[in-house]
Structure formats: C-alpha cells, structure tokens
A and B are shown apart, each in its own frame.
Chain A
Amino acid sequence: MSLTQLAEAVDITLANLSILKTGKARAIRFSTLEAVCAVLECQPGELLSFEPDE
C-alpha cells in the first residue's frame, strides 16, 4: 500500500501522514491511531515504540 493510498484510507492528508512517518508529529489523536490500525489491521503497539533519551 502506498502512502497516498494509506492517507486516503485513513482520511488524513498526505502531508500529515508524512509528518507521522518521519516522527515529526508532536502528538497523535486516538481517532487517527484507530483509523491507521483499522486500515493496516494492526495494534497501536506495532506502530509506536519508546526510545529513552541518551
């Protein structure tokens, strides 16, 4: 699935999806997270990871 197709399926702009993908987003709405998980058929934990500061 391309980024464009994912953006259309999740109903967010390609620019916002790109912000998410590059980790530049400050926060993500639960509704966005839910939509991404629904489209990709995955759990939030598969999308998010915690990396402690060095």
Chain B
Amino acid sequence: MKHGDRLVGTSRVIVAAARVANRVFLGGVVLGFALSLVFAGPLGTWVGQTEPGGDVVTGVMGVRLLLLVGVAMGVATDRLLSALRAVVETARSGDPFVAVNARRLQTIGWCLLVQQLLDAPVWLAARLFPALKTETPGLDVSAGGWLAVLMVFVLSRVFAAGTVMRDELAGTV
C-alpha cells in the first residue's frame, strides 16, 4: 500500500470516528438544553451552589446560552466533517480534482469561520453572566484558527481554478 493510500485510509477512519463523536456530543448538548428547560429548578440550584451569592436567573440563562453555542458548534462541526468525508472519499476513489470539492472546501471554510466566531458568545456569556465565570472559558483568540479559515478559503479558490485547468487539459491532444 502506498503512503498516500495509507494517509487517505487513516483520514477516512479518523473523520468517521470524529463524526460519530461529534454527533454524540451534539445529541448530548441538545438533550442538555431540553433538560435545562424542563428542569429549570434543579439547574438554578446547581448554578447557585456553583457561585454562592451569584445571580441564579442570569446564571441559568448563561448555561442555556452556552448549550445553544454548543449546538451551533456541533452543527458546524457536523457540516465540516461531512464535507471533509466527501473530499476524502473522492481522494480514495482516485479523482479528487473535481469542481464539487472546491465547493466542499468552501463549506469547510465557512464552518471553520463559524467555529471561530462562536468564541464571541462564549466570551459574552462569561461577561454577561458573572455567575458562570468559573465555568466558562475565556476569550481565546486563536491566530492559528483564523489562519486556517483564510487558508481553506484560499485553497478552495486554488482548487476551483485547478479543476477548470484540468477540464481544459482533458480536451488537449
């Protein structure tokens, strides 16, 4: 087996496992959000214990906001992994330089952008709901993440131009 084949095969397994893990996470977060609505009382008690003397009502709202961010993150990650899986499948079949993969790369870019932007509501939750200050991560601006977004959008354009060139070459004798 060639090195490239092993890489594609390994990527396929990793992406498949990540999709399953993400869907489990997404299901858990959706369930958590539903439970936060159904069991608002116990949630308020838990928030009150976490931050004694804190504002319980805003704390509960903060928990729900974080769960909604988790849902958005999970959906974006699912779209990303689905597109990545499709790209890997075309690489596996030996014909990855097709126009649809340029669009898939663009989808991946948008999903990465959404993931980067979701840092903002998490940071806002920490600011607006002080009762959650020990539970929420800080605003972690990742230069690597933003560069990845830029890189994937640029690569999608390169890919699109490359597939057009390949189509033209296909008719050259």
Number of A-B contacts (CB under 8 A): 23
Size category of the A interface is 10 to 19
Q: Report the separation of the CA atoms of residues A27 and B172 in the bound assembly, to the nearest whole angstrom.
A: 4
Q: Quick one: CB contact mask for A9-27 with B, threshold 8 Å, 1 for yes?
A: 0001000110110001111
Chain A residues with CB under 8 Å of B172's CB are: 25-29
Chain A residues with CB under 8 Å of B168's CB are: 26-27
Number of chain B residues close to chain A: CB under 8 A: 5
Chain A residues with CB under 8 Å of B173's CB are: 12, 16-17, 19-20, 25, 27-29, 32
Q: Report the separation of the CA atoms of residues A52 and B168 in the bound assembly, to the nearest whole angstrom.
A: 22
Centre residue among A20, A24, A26, A32 by max chain B CB count within 10 A: A26
Residue positions of A touching B, CB distance < 8 A: 12, 16-17, 19-20, 24-29, 32
B53 at the interface (CB under 8 A from A): no
Q: Which 6 pairs from chain A and chain B are nearest by CB?
A: A26-B171, A27-B172, A16-B173, A25-B173, A20-B173, A28-B173
Chain B residues with CB under 8 Å of A17's CB are: 173
Q: Quick one: CB contact mask for B20-39 with A, threshold 8 Å, 1 for yes?
A: 00000000000000000000
Q: Report the separation of the CA atoms of residues A24 and B168 in the bound assembly, to the nearest whole angstrom.
A: 12
Chain B residues with CB under 8 Å of A20's CB are: 173
Beyond A16-B173, A25-B171, A26-B170, 8 extra complex contacts between A and B, CB < 8 Å: A17-B173, A19-B171, A19-B173, A20-B173, A24-B171, A26-B171, A28-B173, A29-B173
